[in-house]
């Protein structure tokens, strides 16, 4: 495991522990004000978890809404409650053993059901099988795939990569001859139907693995735009054909975008417009209700 | 932490240049923290000097030439002072609160666009992130007020939180209107988009210098938006005339009444850091960020380095706005609580909606924007003229007694 992956894992576990610890503090604290403040830890830790999966807009929205809005409201409500500091209002009343057992088993059931019921994506999803050929050698059947985010998420054809970072991979069952290397290339969409080949990066030598030979290449900080990618066996002196994904189609292999904001905006203003508006009507109704409750009674 | 995760070029860490990324984070954070400390120190001195001269006094004069090293002496005093924790406090929260307040305002600094193409953290959600992490300040203030176990602190905290939460509404709406013009949340891109353009979207490729800045994109609405933002920003930083959370005559010192020594100075640092953040956002959204005011008329200010040039203009504009805050502090009297809420909800918020609507209409069609601008501008000018040249109302003594014949 590379150092960077260890680092990511460490960050993940620290953040997850902070979220769990904060949650426990919320539930177990004997002082209700402290419970409310412990919620701050939970909300920030959850935001950090969102950041770990590159959901930048969700991070900002989470903090803005939950910390800036809801948590402040909760603390206000607690502080404005009459004589809250005198009465030790909290979770001191311990529930009976039956209810504890019931709650815990339901929780465990839900979590186990989710973990085992969900199809976790464990490996790279093979996008395409192709024969890569080098002159004078039999063609090698190869698998092409595209990953993002420390190699854990496969990018579907036509998908979106964030922050211009994508890892391309060519995997062959047997190691090709010694000097063979893989050469990855990108094409960027200039106008409709017009693709411009970007200057190809350095070829990558095949690294023999347990189940074949693998060549990885990371493209980093790609400018925003639509891309297609291709690969070829690079043999010195030879001129091999590129193997491309979806040559005949005009569809790009992936789109590079900075952050989630644009995709979310399009989703809200497009397919989910009705849901979005309905939610805002709901909020408006809540606001009207609050104003009604808060107004003074008019004595007749 | 969040900034670290969300902002820094994440792929550096993923692709293996993790030590570069980590080193960068540490170095940048160290620079910013030290800069905030020095800047806040110098600003305390500046504020005292401005106050003194506006009130025909001299101000600090003992330490250094003309008292110019007073801030160092103050800092030293604060650092070596005893850290008093009163008996009736919630000790954990009492100790924690200053760090949360300071952390909230410090975290906003990493996303500011200091110069051409460089922010410590280039973030796609820049402005949203800044608004979000700033909300931690409210929590910290409430924490400080509650844990102090003192009625003055609690009152101050409640007032402060109510004020900040209320004034976030016009700030959000006004910035939303400006975002309609720029079409991005990224602070760097917002700055860059003010390089070319003109009122109402006419001449989008013109290098107009000051006339391409956000404040002149949809006059008079963007000017109105700037004034609303600046006013609400003053209120969010608890500055005079909106300093009712710390009103000395009523509340001793507000939410930090019980604090002393280093913990107190953290609140102090946070207040000055927040002032700069408000000024920097105003600079970025309305005053062209790091762009020089002359467009391409005079060439670049510092031909050697666009980096320094951008830094110079960004800092100049931001500090000018900070200075204006100090000026206002010694000019205007304090609002009452009800006046403060009245100003926010009944005046600034409806006006903010007007700017949002008008900017949206103007972005949709430039002739609609032009028409709205001319009509509303004429009405506004007429109103200002009416107020300015109105005779003093009856029943009140005239400003100057008329000369008796």
- The residue of chain A with its CA nearest to that of B172 is A64
Binned at pLDDT 50, 70 and 90, residue A17 comes out as very high
Whether residue B144 contacts residue B255, with contact meaning beta carbons closer than 8 Å, is answered with yes
Query: Tell me: the pLDDT tens digits for B157-182?
Result: 888 888 888 898 999 999 999 999 98
Same domain membership, residue A184 and residue A86? no
Number of Cβ atoms within 10 Å of the Cβ of A225:
15
For the stretch B360-372, what's the b/e string if a residue is b when 16 or more beta carbons lie within 10 angstroms of its beta carbon? Answer: bbbbeebeebbeb
**Cα dihedral sign, B73-B76-B80-B86:** positive
Q: Bridge-partner residues for A213, per DSSP?
A: A172, A208
Residues B316-325, mean pLDDT to the nearest whole number: 92
Q: Using one digit for the tens of pLDDT, what is the confidence trace for B47-96?
A: 888 888 888 888 888 887 888 888 888 888 888 888 878 887 888 888 88
pLDDT tens profile B276-296: 999 999 999 999 888 888 766
pLDDT in tens, B102-127: 888 888 888 888 888 778 877 788 89
What tokens does B361 get? Answer: 């209409």
* Extended strands (E) in A117-205: 126-132, 140-148, 153-154, 159-162, 166-172, 181-191, 194-197, 204-205
Measured distance CA(B166)–CA(B156) in Å, rounded: 15
pLDDT at A285 over 90: yes
Instruction: Using the Cα atoms of residue B268, residue B274, residue B279 and residue B280 in order, give the sign of their dihedral.
Output: positive
What is the band of B6 on the pLDDT scale with cuts at 50, 70, 90?
very low
Inter-chain touch B125–A68, beta carbons under 8 Å: no
Structure confidence at residue B405 as a pLDDT band (50, 70, 90): low
**pLDDT given for residue B8 in this prediction:** 47
CB contact under 8 A, A63 and B136: yes
Cα–Cα distance for residue pair B195/B112, rounded to 1 Å: 18
Do A243 and A130 fall within a single domain? Answer: yes
Domain shared by A139 and A245, yes or no: yes
Mean pLDDT over A61-69 rounds to: 88
Residue B296: CA atoms inside 13 Å, Cβ hemisphere, count?
7
- Supply the pLDDT for residue B404: 62
> Residue A126: beta bridge partners?
A145
What range defines the domain where residue A92 resides? Answer: 3-117
Residue A24 counted as domain residue? yes
Subunit contact A68:B10, Cβ cutoff 8 A: no
Mean pLDDT estimate for chain A: 78
Q: Count other C-beta atoms under 10 Å from residue A22's C-beta.
A: 20
**Residue B118 DSSP code:** B
Average pLDDT over residues A207-230: 77
Alpha carbon of A259: minimum distance to chain B alpha carbons (Å):
6
Does residue B353 lie in a domain region?
A: yes
Question: Does residue A130 sit in the same domain as residue A255?
Answer: yes
Residue B369 confidence class, pLDDT cut points 50, 70, 90: confident
Peptide bond into B220 cis (omega under 30): yes
CA-based Rg of chain A, rounded to a whole angstrom?
A: 27
What is the CB neighbour count within 10 angstroms for residue A271?
A: 10
The answer to whether the CB atoms of B158 and A44 lie below 8 A apart is no
- If asked whether residues A17 and A89 sit together in one domain, one would say yes
Same domain, residue pair A102 and A85: yes
- For residue B131, is pLDDT > 70? yes
Q: How confident is the model at residue B322 (pLDDT cuts 50, 70, 90)?
A: very high
Q: Which of A2, A61, A221 lies at the smallest CB-CB distance from B11? A: A221
E strand intervals along B57-121: none
**Residue A272, in any domain of the structure:** no
- Closest CB from A64, A67, A220 relative to B11: A220
Question: Residues, chain A, total?
Answer: 300
Question: What DSSP assignment string belongs to B341-356?
Answer: HHIIIIIIHHHHHHHH
Residues in chain A with CB shorter than 8 Å from the CB of B125 are 56-57, 59-60, 259, 261
Q: Is there a contact between B125 and A56 if contact means CB atoms under 8 Å apart?
A: yes
Q: Which of B2, B138, B185 is nearest residue A51 as measured by Cβ atoms?
A: B2
Residue in B with minimal Cα distance to A149: B14
Please determine, for residue A191, whether its predicted confidence score (pLDDT) is greater than 90. no
Q: Given a cut of 70, is residue A206 above it in pLDDT?
A: yes
Nearest CB among B6, B14, B93 relative to A51 is that of B6
Residue in the block written with tokens 């906003």:
B108
Contact between A164 and A220 under an 8 Å Cβ cutoff? The reply is yes
Q: Which residue of A has its CA nearest to B6?
A: A51
Round to whole Å and give the CA distance between B215 and B261.
42
CB–CB of A149 and B165 under 8 A?
no
Nearest residue on chain B to A259, alpha-carbon basis:
B124
The C-alpha atoms of residue B114 and residue A227 are separated, in whole angstroms, by: 32
Q: Mind listing the pLDDT tens digit for each residue in A241-275?
A: 777 765 556 667 778 877 778 878 888 888 899 99
**Between chains, do A220 and B15 touch, taking CB under 8 Å as contact?**
yes
Asked whether the predicted pLDDT for residue A178 surpasses 70, the reply is no
A255/A132 same-domain check: yes
How far apart are the C-alpha atoms of B395 and B387, rounded to whole Å?
17
Please spell the DSSP secondary structure of A82-129, one letter per residue.
TTTTTTT-SS-SPPPHHHHHHHHHHHHHHHHHHHHHS----SPPEEEE
A/B interface, count of CB pairs below 8 Å: 127
What range defines the domain where residue B132 resides?
89-385
User: Given pLDDT bands bounded at 50, 70 and 90, which one contains residue B2?
Assistant: very low
Residue B17 located in a structural domain? no
pLDDT > 80? residue B219 = yes
Alpha-carbon distance B92 to nearest alpha carbon in chain A (angstroms): 9
Q: Do B10 and A67 touch (CB under 8 A)?
A: no
- Residue B68 located in a structural domain: no
Which residue of A38, A52, A56 is the best one to mutate when testing the B interface, meaning the one whose CB has the most B CBs within 10 A?
A56
How many whole angstroms separate alpha carbon B213 and alpha carbon B197? Answer: 8
A130 and A112 belong to one structural domain: no
Tokens for B20? 């570069």
Q: What angle in degrees, to the nearest 10, is found between the helix axes of B366-389 and B349-364?
A: 150
Tokens (6 digits) for A90: 């909290």
Looking at per-residue confidence, does B148 or B231 come out higher? B231
Q: What number is the average pLDDT over the span B202-207?
A: 80
Structure tokens at B323: 């200075």
ipTM score for this prediction: 0.81
Two structure tokens written together for A61: 């929205």
Q: Is residue A253 classed exposed, middle or buried when 0-12, 13-18 and 19+ CB atoms within 10 A define those classes?
A: buried
- A283 occurs within a structural domain: no
Alpha-carbon gap, residue A142 to A144, rounded angstroms: 7
Residue B14 lies in a domain: no
Report helix, strand or coil for A181. strand
Domain-located, residue A112: yes
Question: How much is the average pLDDT of B139-166?
Answer: 85
Query: Which residues are paired to A195 by β-bridges?
Result: A189
CB B225 within 8 A of CB B355: yes
Cα B373–Cα B349–Cα B280 angle in degrees, nearest 5? 80
Q: So what's the pLDDT on residue B282?
A: 93
Nearest Cα to A127, choosing from A168, A75, A174?
A168
Distance (Å, whole) CA B8 – CA B22: 9
Six-digit token pair at B57? 């006094």
> What confidence score (pLDDT) does residue A74 get?
86
Find the CATH number of the domain harbouring A156: 2.60.40.2550
Same structural domain, A101 and A162: no
Residue A136 inside a domain? The answer is yes
**Looking at the domain assignment, is residue A292 inside a domain?**
no
Any domain includes A264: no
Rounding to the nearest 10 degrees, give the CA dihedral for residues B253, B259, B262, B267.
Answer: -50
Interface check for B128 against chain A (CB to CB < 8 A): the answer is yes
What pLDDT is stored for residue B228 in this prediction?
Answer: 93
For residue A244, give the 3-state DSSP assignment. Answer: strand
Q: Is the pLDDT of residue B379 over 70?
A: yes
Residue A27, Cβ neighbours under 10 Å: how many?
10
Closest CA to B343 of B235, B238, B251, B247: B235
> Which residues does chain B have within 8 Å of residue A260's beta carbon, measured at their own beta carbons?
124
Q: Taking CB atoms and an 8 Å limit, are A72 and B135 in contact across chains?
A: yes
- Strand A159-162 relative to strand A254-257, pairing: parallel
Residues B187 and B289: their CA atoms lie apart, in Å, by 9
Q: Give the count of domains, chain A.
A: 2
Does residue B396 fall inside a structural domain?
Answer: no
Q: What is the CA radius of gyration of chain B?
A: 23
Assigned domain for B13 exists: no
Number of domains in chain B: 1
Give the distance from residue A98's alpha carbon to the nearest chain B alpha carbon, in angstroms: 35
My answer on whether A51 and A167 are in the same domain is no
N-term to C-term CA, chain B: 74
Within 10 A of A219 (CB to CB), how many other CB atoms are there? 21
Preferred mutation among B3, B5, B175 to probe A, highest tally of A CBs within 10 A: B5
pLDDT at residue number B357: 92
Pair A22, A67 in one domain: yes
Nearest CA in chain A to B93: A34
Give the three-state DSSP class for A168. Answer: strand
Within a domain: B6: no
**d(C-alpha A25, C-alpha A30), whole Å:** 9
Number of H helices, E strands in chain B: 15, 0
B65, part of any domain: no
CB B194 within 8 A of CB B183: no
Pairwise CA distance, residues B352 & B167, whole Å: 11
Strand, coil or helix: what is A225?
A: strand
In a domain, A228, yes or no: yes
Whether B319 has a pLDDT exceeding 80, the answer reads yes
Q: What is the per-residue pLDDT across A74-100, written as a single tens digit (0 to 9) for each?
A: 888 887 776 655 555 555 556 678 888
Q: Report CA B9 to chain centroid distance, whole Å.
A: 27
């Amino acid at each position: 495991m590379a150092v960077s992956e260890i680092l990511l894992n460490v960050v993940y576990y620290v953040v997850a522990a902070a979220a769990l610890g904060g949650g426990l503090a919320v539930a177990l604290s004997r002082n209700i004000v402290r419970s409310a403040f412990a919620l701050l830890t939970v909300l920030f830790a959850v935001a950090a978890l969102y950041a770990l999966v590159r959901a930048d807009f969700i991070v900002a929205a989470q903090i803005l809404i939950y910390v800036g809005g809801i948590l402040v409201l909760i603390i206000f409500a607690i502080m404005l409650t009459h004589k809250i500091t005198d009465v030790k209002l909290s979770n001191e009343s311990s529930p009976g053993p039956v209810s504890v057992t019931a709650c815990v088993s339901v929780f465990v059931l839900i979590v186990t059901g989710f973990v085992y019921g969900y199809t976790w994506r464990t490996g790279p999803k093979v996008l395409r099988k192709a024969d890569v050929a080098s002159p004078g050698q039999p063609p090698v059947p190869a698998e092409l795939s595209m990953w993002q985010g420390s190699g854990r998420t496969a990018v579907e054809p036509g998908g979106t990569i964030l922050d211009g970072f994508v890892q391309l991979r060519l995997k062959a069952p047997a190691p090709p001859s010694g000097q063979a290397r893989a050469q990855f290339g990108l094409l960027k969409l200039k106008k409709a139907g017009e693709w411009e080949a970007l200057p190809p990066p350095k070829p990558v030598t095949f690294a023999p693995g347990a189940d074949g030979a693998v060549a990885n290449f990371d493209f980093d900080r790609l400018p925003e735009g639509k891309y297609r990618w291709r690969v070829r066996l690079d043999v010195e002196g030879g001129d091999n054909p590129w193997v491309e994904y979806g040559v005949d189609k005009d569809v790009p292999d992936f789109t590079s975008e900075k952050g989630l904001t644009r995709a979310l905006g399009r989703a809200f203003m497009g397919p989910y417009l009705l849901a979005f508006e309905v939610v805002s009507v709901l909020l408006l109704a809540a606001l009207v209700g609050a104003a009604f409750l808060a107004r003074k009674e008019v004595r007749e | 932490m969040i900034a670290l995760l969300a902002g820094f070029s994440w792929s550096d860490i993923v692709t293996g240049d993790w030590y570069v990324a980590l080193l960068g984070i540490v170095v940048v954070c160290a620079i910013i923290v030290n800069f905030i400390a020095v800047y806040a120190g110098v600003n305390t001195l500046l504020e005292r000097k401005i106050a003194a001269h506006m009130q025909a006094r001299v101000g600090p004069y003992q330490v250094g030439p003309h008292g110019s090293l007073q801030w160092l002496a103050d800092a030293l005093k604060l650092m070596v002072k005893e850290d008093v924790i009163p008996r009736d406090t919630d000790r954990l929260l009492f100790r924690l609160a200053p760090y949360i307040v300071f952390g909230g305002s410090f975290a906003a600094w990493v996303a500011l666009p200091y110069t051409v193409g460089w922010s410590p953290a280039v973030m796609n959600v820049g402005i949203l992130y800044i608004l979000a992490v700033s909300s931690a300040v409210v929590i910290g203030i409430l924490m400080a007020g509650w844990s102090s176990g003192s009625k003055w602190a609690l009152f101050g905290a409640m007032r402060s939180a109510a004020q900040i939460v209320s004034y976030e509404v016009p700030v959000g709406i006004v910035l939303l209107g400006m975002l309609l013009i720029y079409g991005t949340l990224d602070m760097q891109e917002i700055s860059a988009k003010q390089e070319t353009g003109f009122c109402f979207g006419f001449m989008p490729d013109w290098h107009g210098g000051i006339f391409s800045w956000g404040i002149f994109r949809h006059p008079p609405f963007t000017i109105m938006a700037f004034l609303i933002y600046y006013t609400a920003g003053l209120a969010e930083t608890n500055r005079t005339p909106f300093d009712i959370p710390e009103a000395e005559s009523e509340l001793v010192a507000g939410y930090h009444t019980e604090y002393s020594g280093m913990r107190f100075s953290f609140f102090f640092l946070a207040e000055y850091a927040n002032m700069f953040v408000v000024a920097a956002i105003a600079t970025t959204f309305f005053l062209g960020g790091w762009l020089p005011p002359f467009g391409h008329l005079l060439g670049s200010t510092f031909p050697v380095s666009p980096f320094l040039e951008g830094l110079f203009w960004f800092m100049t504009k931001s500090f000018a706005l900070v200075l204006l805050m100090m000026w206002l502090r010694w000019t205007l009297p304090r609002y009452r609580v009800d006046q403060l809420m009245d100003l926010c909800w009944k005046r600034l918020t409806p006006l903010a909606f007007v700017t949002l609507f008008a900017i949206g209409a103007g972005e949709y069609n430039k002739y609609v924007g032009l028409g709205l601008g001319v009509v509303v501008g004429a009405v506004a000018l007429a109103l200002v003229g009416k107020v300015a040249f109105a005779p003093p109302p009856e029943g009140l003594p005239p400003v100057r007694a008329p000369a008796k014949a």
